Amino acid sequence: MSDNSISPEQASYLRARKRYRLKVIISRILLLVGIVVLWEAAAELRLVDPFITSQPSRVVRTLLMLHQQGVLYRHVGITVFETVVGFTLGTIAGTGVAVLLWWSDFLSDVLDPYLVVLNSLPKIALGPIIIVWMGQGMPAIITMALLISLVVTILGVYSGFSQVDSEKVKMLRTFGATRGQVLRMVILPASVPTIVSALKINVGLSWVGVIVGEFLVSRAGLGYLIVYGGQVFRLDLVMTSVIILAVAAAVMYQAVVWLERLILRFR
């Protein structure tokens, strides 16, 4: 679009929005820097006990130590792989079950109370059963991540299906569209925002599931480092693992946001 096609008011509004976004980004960076500086200063001045709270300089040293030992990328890679697999399976399986529930009102009515119970059940209570079924290894961890995200995905996506404009569905039915055509032409396109929202929720849930699984059975990964660091009172290792975990989760969330923008652009 050329500049001649934009009114002065619109150009002023766009400049104001650009300045606002820039202010938000700068404020976020300054807030993060301020937190790090205050954390380091409080530890150096002994306002907090650095043995308990650690401090940024110790975290950096621990990060370099893990890198030099050659174990950093192994632990991070294992946890990221488990999370991505659990996230992908949870999203695909949850969306598939939601489609089945939309397709069959009878099936939806039968399974509704069971889904509510499963959603309210603390999944960690199933940990010992999952370990017995899947063994002490990566399959058990991925299964834990899958269970935590699956039911939430089913309920969220199915709710989105149910909220699609019924008049559009009736119109297609009037023209003789099959149930599959209604799903493909109306339900799924209209539910894209709901599915993307489910993806965003699943990012956090998948990380929770993987870390809980690693707490229980893993011998590698960020969850293992957190448990090991706590057991031997190496709290610098615990804080370093937590920070790596936060960064990895943020990167994965931003990937979903990028996917959302890509989908909306094509729509």
pTM score, two decimals? 0.78
Fold of the CATH domain 59-266: MetI-like fold (1.10.3720)
pLDDT confidence of 183, banded at 50, 70, 90? confident
Distance CA 257, CA 44 (A): 38
For residue 94, the tally of other CB atoms under 10 A from its CB is 24
What DSSP string describes 125-143? GGHHHHHHHH-SSHHHHHH
* pLDDT at residue 135 is higher than 80: no
pLDDT given at position 126: 77
* pLDDT at residue 106 is higher than 50: yes
Phi then psi dihedrals of residue 43, to 5 deg: -70, -40
* Average pLDDT rounded to a whole number, residues 197-219: 83
- Please report, for the chain, the start and end positions of each structural domain, with discontinuous segments joined by +: 3-48, 59-266
* pLDDT at residue 47 is higher than 90: no
- Displacement of CA 18 from its chain's centroid (Å): 28
pLDDT confidence of 4, banded at 50, 70, 90? low
The answer to whether the beta carbons of residues 71 and 80 sit under 8 Å apart is no
* pLDDT at residue 193 is higher than 70: yes
